[in-house]
Chain A
Amino acid sequence: MIETAVNNAETGLSTADRHFVYRKVIERVAWTGMVVCVLITVSLLWVILGYVIYRGGAAFSWEFLTTLPQPAGEAGGGIANALIGSGFIVGLATLMAVPISLGAAIFVNEFPSGRLGASVRFLAEVLTGVPSIVVGLFGYALVVQPTGQFSGLSGAVAYAFIMVPIILISTQEALRLVPTDLREASLALGVPKWRTILWVVLPVSSRALLTGVLLAVARALGEAAPMLFTAFGNPFWNLDVRKPMATVPHLIYTYATGPYEDWHNKAWAASFVLVTVVLVTSLLARAALRNKSDD
């Protein structure tokens, strides 16, 4: 101790002390760096949200939600047809995607056989990575070309392709978490396997299943690219799946790339609506999952 004191008196700092200060400085720098990274990540969401609200909120009105688009150059008008179209096409896509992905997930998880599970899972993961524009082209080739017409149906098929792997993966995960005990308890009662799956396994994982579906819906709602060659867009009311239909993300694309200032504002307002809908859907999905952990 005396020695350290002497050292301090001579040089001001001992080697150990200097090393300590150095480490403190490094710690500060690293800490600050990480905080900056976190701030950027978090603020990205808020910047996007804030800007969409700022630009979109200005052009938004109740009328915007309830009226049809006006011809270019005329003031007023809204996106009512695109809202209904989006809801309709995504709804139809959900009806197609849920049974397919649920059936596949049940088969893979409840009837495990060697490498099948792992390979299906891998394929589903690859499928989620397929660019949505390619999915759109596929929808075009699969439905539009044979029928010779852009249609809401082809849009729904394209969206379903996006939704299937998402629901498949989340469902399989949910089913995997159902304890084996419960399946055995049911089987040991002499309950056939299919009833065990329907009455015991699926109810236990129902909330997680709902979450998966909602996340897939949220994802599809925001996709514009698959609609370019399928639903195509339509400035009028249309609830006929065999004819072109308007969707919100596709309308945003059209308006944002158009030449009119009014269109740009409308694109922002539509973005505002779309972001709100997607956000609410995602929050619902979270809420469904949270309730489960409360039980």
Chain B
Amino acid sequence: MTEEKQAIDSRHEDVVPTSGRAMSSPIYEKEPKKAVVKESEETLLVVEGLNVFYGKIKVIHNISVSIQARKVTAIIGPSGCGKSTFIRCLNRMHEVTPGGRVEGKVLLDGEELYGPTVDPVQVRRRIGMVFQKPNPFPTMSVYDNVAAGFKLNGTRDRRVIEEKVEKSLKMAALWEEVKDALHKPGTSLSGGQQQRLCIARALAVEPEVLLMDEPCSALDPIATAKIEELIRELKETVTIVIVTHNMQQAARVSDYTAFFYLGELVEFNVTSKIFTTPEKRQTEDYITGRFG
């Protein structure tokens, strides 16, 4: 049932960009910039002048963007454009890579994440992350995987842990499938289940923001549909930033879309605008499949 809906959705989205291309560019160049990012909405994460380096190579050039609370922001762009590197800077994971260096500001609720006294461990508890490849801890059971985050952070009370595990698995729409197999190894689940397990594990720490780095790229369409449905549910409570290669996916799940190209932010706008009346030629070319 869900797949059918998804199929229809994606067919619909396939058509949208074409109609956008039909419009001549002067019309949407006249539209005022950033008018769509309404001030009334609550901004949670602000990036100002972000420059990112691997050793001496600069991979992200002066990016500034504001991410709205409890919305889904998609980041699209061709391979190697710095999408993943960008979101890894939002929870200070970039600096884990040898040679990784970040300049500029990232503010979560007005608080500077790269401040000299800020502990990256604390940042990561507030901004969770789901990776491209499902990566449950192989030595831990389903239960322990979900409990890992807050248990490793020092929660001891068994009842609290049990409640949190159940709550997180329910939030990740995995509870029904694994409630009888909680003590099996996390790696015994299917790929899609493993990814939802990783989402549950990230949610268990109760982050304010959830970063997802191409969370569906290793999954089949059915598992992908489930994750997308989950994303739509999760945005009630969590702010989501998702990197995706799949433009239909960005169109389906996101409220805002940022288009990255060669380490620069080309365009940022509400998703419907990006996919129907993009302001920049490059964006239009990319979403209509002329390059990328």
Contact = CB atoms under 8 A, between A and B. Distances in A.
For chain A, what secondary structure do more than half of its interface residues adopt (helix, strand, loop), or is it mixed? helix
Interface string B254-271: 000000000000000000
Nearest to A195: B152
A204 interface: yes
Interface of B: 91, 93, 96, 98, 121-126, 128-129, 131, 133, 135-139, 148-149, 152-153, 198, 201-202, 205
A192 interface: yes
A188 B128 contact: yes
Contact of B122 (A112, A189, A190, A195): A190
B202 A189 contact: yes
A190 B96 contact: no
Contacts of B126: 190
Nearest to B151: A199
20 contacts: A181-B131, A181-B133, A182-B138, A184-B135, A185-B135, A185-B136, A185-B137, A185-B201, A186-B137, A188-B128, A188-B202, A189-B149, A189-B153, A189-B201, A190-B125, A190-B126, A190-B153, A195-B152, A200-B148, A204-B137
Interface in A200-258: 200, 203-204, 206
A177 to B, nearest CB: 12
A191 interface: yes
A203 B145 CA distance: 13
Nearest to A178: B138
B121 A203 contact: no
B138 A204 contact: yes
Given A181-B133, A199-B152, A187 B205 contact: no
A12 interface: no
B153 A188 contact: no
Contact of B128 (A179, A182, A184, A189): A189
B204 to A, nearest CB: 8
A195 B202 CA distance: 17
Contacts of B137: 182, 185-186, 200, 204
